[in-house]
């Protein structure tokens, strides 16, 4: 298939590009590089042995998206393009609704014009909000706690309405849990600018000496060891989940379907740190600090629906996650 990846130069998009291209799909990237760098294209070329076409454009430019859909005879779109920092979304909600909701509407308008009606959407476990029960299954009530989560949920509602209005649409919304890790080559991975908000890139920066120590946000939660627990999923597992979703859309799905992509297991902050310490063979300097406002103690996925519909499960371990993160981090320093 000819597949367009909006936001394809980003963290999850670039790994998915590798998996799809290696599976024989023709992949086209579209990105405005607001949170990524064109240098990822050279690294993708090294991994794949060929260059992937990439168009620099904003998804909110409907005409530009329409041109790409026509020029590359696109059959399906995976819509990664979006902003994802929870704190920033609280400080600047308009930016998030404009980019994430308006961006999705613009993409859908372009797809409608060209008649491309197969779509995978990047959603998030954050749409569930405070757990009523765990693990979160796809029927868990949705009550996002911040504008970022709201922007994902509102987009899902638009997608559901669209699929009801026109039976030709095939749409899957994938709700990712906590994507971490890097490609085994160490050439691509997550490389946030400045001080990371998220645990895994923060650990990597402390391990490399870029940051002096890690702050653990609270150790008195009602969890196994008092620290927060999350469902960390290796980005290559996640990428393979997208390939499975594309096959599912091609072969079986009609209408709109929501599917969790997670491992179904939770790992605590201390457990993740100790797995990383094992990989690097030394201790990571850390302090317990106060809880981060808005953090939930624990959540993880009910991953059965992905297994049943997509024939997909996460296969990589926490050790794999730490090892590939460290490989990417070390390669970055040498480069
Ligand atoms: P990322 O920031 O690395 O990638 C997003 C890409 O989209 C970037 O390359 C950015 O430049 C591009 N982009 C943003 N707005 C754009 C626009 N208007 N037009 C064109 N390009 C635009 O983020 P990621 O971690 O790869 O996340 C991909 C998607 O998955 C996002 O929609 C995100 O909300 C969602 N998601 C991410 C996580 C996570 O923890 N990484 C969890 C759940 C859901
Ligand atoms: N944590 C620390 N220290 C840090 C960073 C995080 O102790 O420096 C802890 C947090 O308190 C939490 C755990 O590590 O217990 C994970 O935190 P992350 O910030 O890595 O991830 P979150 O689960 O808070 O949020 C992430 C993304 C959201 C997304 C959500 C669900 O940031 O955008 O996963 O997919 F919505």
Which protein residues touch ligand 1 with a CB less than 6 Å away? 6-7, 9-13, 31-36, 58-60, 80-84, 99, 103, 122, 124, 176, 179
Q: Which two tokens stand for residue 19?
A: 């998996």
Pocket lining: 223 vs ligand 2, CB cutoff 6 Å:
no
Ligand number, closest to the Cα atom of 55: 1
The residues that bridge with 214 in the sheet, in sequence order, are 286
What mean pLDDT comes out for the span 257-270? Answer: 98
Question: Which of 259, 258, 240 shows the shortest CA–CA distance to 316?
Answer: 240
Mean pLDDT score across all residues of the chain: 96
User: At a CB cut-off of 8 Å and minimum separation 6, what does 149 contact?
Assistant: 86, 124, 126, 127, 129
Predicted pLDDT of residue 13 = 98
Query: Which band of pLDDT confidence, cut at 50, 70 and 90, is reported for residue 285?
Result: very high
In the predicted structure, residue 325 carries a pLDDT above the cut 90: yes
Domain coordinates in residue numbering, the chain: 2-182+232-263+301-315
Q: What is the DSSP letter of 84?
A: -
What is the radius of gyration, based on Cα positions, of the chain? Answer: 19
Distance 78 CA to ligand 2 centre (A): 24
Helix 147-165 / helix 103-114 crossing angle, nearest 10 deg: 20
* Helical ranges in 166-310 per DSSP H: 199-207, 235-251, 269-280, 304-305
Task: Find the mean pLDDT for residues 43-57.
Answer: 98
Among 96, 128, 136, 148, the active-site one is 148
Nearest CA to ligand 2 atom 6: 199
CA 1 to each of CA 4, 22, 23, 72, 173: distance values in angstroms, whole numbers, following the listed order: 10, 12, 10, 11, 19
Residue with tokens 């990439």: 54
Cβ contacts of 70 within 8 Å, gap of 6 or more: 114
Please give the average per-residue pLDDT across 90-111, as a whole number.
98
Task: Report the percentage of the chain scoring pLDDT > 90.
Answer: 95
> pTM (2 decimals)?
0.98
Helix, strand, coil fractions of the chain, as percent rounded to 5? 45, 20, 40
- Distance (Å, rounded) from C-alpha 90 to C-alpha 145? 10
Sign of the torsion formed by the C-alpha atoms of 25, 6, 175 and 230: positive
Catalytic site residue 148? yes
Cβ-proximal residues to 203 (8 Å cutoff; 6+ apart), any chain: 214, 272, 273, 276, 284, 325
Write down the CATH number for the domain with range 2-182+232-263+301-315.
Answer: 3.40.50.720
Q: Give the confidence band of 76 by pLDDT, cuts at 50, 70, 90.
A: very high
Residue 181, Ramachandran bin (φ over 0: left; ψ between -120 and 50: alpha; else beta): left
The ligand whose atoms approach the alpha carbon of 32 most closely is 1
Write down the pLDDT at residue 121: 98
Token pair 């971490």: residue: 180
Ligand nearest to the Cα of 80, by number: 1
Four-residue CA torsion sign, 234, 55, 106, 244: negative
pLDDT over 90 at 253, yes or no: no
C-alpha 161: how far from chain center: 23
Judging by beta carbons within 10 Å of its beta carbon (0-12, 13-18, 19+), is residue 191 exposed, middle or buried? middle
Q: Would you state the pLDDT for residue 9?
A: 97
Confidence of residue 120 (pLDDT cuts 50, 70, 90): very high
Cα angle 236, 242, 248 (rounded to 5 degrees) comes to 140
pLDDT digits (tens, 9 = 90+) for 182-232: 999 999 999 887 899 999 999 999 999 999 999 999 999 999 999 999 999
Percent residues over pLDDT 70 in the chain: 99
Hey, is 289 helix, strand or coil? strand
CB 45 within 8 A of CB 51: yes
Ligand 2 centre and the CA of 196: distance in Å? 10
Q: To which residue do tokens 């904003």 refer?
A: 58
Residue 268's DSSP bridge partners are: 229
- Residue with the smallest CA separation from ligand 1 atom 15 is 82
Q: pLDDT confidence of 291, banded at 50, 70, 90?
A: very high
Predicted pLDDT of residue 254: 83
Handedness of CA 270, 35, 17, 99 (dihedral sign): positive
Chain segment 21-31, per-residue pLDDT in tens: 999 999 999 99
Residue 125 has pLDDT above 90, yes or no: yes
How many other CB atoms are there within 10 angstroms of residue 334's CB atom? 6
């Amino acid at each position: 298939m000819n597949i367009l990846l909006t936001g394809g130069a980003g963290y999850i998009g670039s790994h998915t590009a590798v998996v799809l291209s290696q599976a024989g799909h023709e992949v086209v990237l579209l990105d405005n590089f607001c949170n990524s760098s064109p240098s990822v294209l050279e690294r993708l070329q090294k991994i794949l042995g060929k260059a992937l076409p990439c168009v620099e454009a904003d998804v909110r430019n409907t005409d530009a998206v329409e041109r790409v859909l026509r020029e590359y005879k696109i059959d399906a779109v995976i819509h990664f393009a979006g902003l994802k920092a929870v704190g920033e979304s609280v400080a600047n909600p308009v930016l998030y609704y404009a980019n994430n909701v308006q961006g999705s509407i613009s993409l859908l308008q372009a797809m409608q014009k060209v008649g491309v009606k197969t779509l995978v959407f990047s959603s998030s476990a954050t749409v569930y909000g405070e757990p009523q029960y765990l693990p979160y299954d796809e029927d868990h009530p949705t009550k996002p706690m911040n504008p970022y989560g709201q922007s994902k949920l509102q987009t899902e509602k638009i997608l559901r309405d669209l699929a009801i209005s026109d039976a030709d649409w095939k749409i899957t919304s994938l709700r990712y849990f906590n994507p971490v890790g890097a490609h085994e080559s160490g050439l691509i991975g997550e490389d946030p600018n400045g001080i990371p908000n998220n645990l895994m890139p923060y650990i990597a920066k402390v391990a490399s000496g870029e940051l002096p120590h890690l702050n653990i946000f609270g150790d008195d939660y009602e969890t196994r060891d008092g620290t927060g627990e999350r469902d960390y999923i290796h980005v290559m597992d996640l990428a393979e989940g997208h390939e499975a979703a594309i096959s599912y859309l091609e072969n079986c799905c009609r209408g709109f379907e929501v599917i969790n992509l997670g491992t179904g297991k939770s790992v605590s902050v201390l457990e993740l740190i100790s797995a990383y310490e094992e990989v690097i063979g030394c201790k990571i300097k850390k302090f317990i600090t106060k809880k981060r406002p808005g953090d939930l103690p624990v959540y993880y996925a009910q991953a059965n629906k992905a297994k049943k519909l997509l024939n997909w499960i996460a296969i990589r371990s926490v050790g794999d996650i730490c090892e590939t993160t460290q490989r990417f981090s070390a390669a970055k320093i040498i480069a």
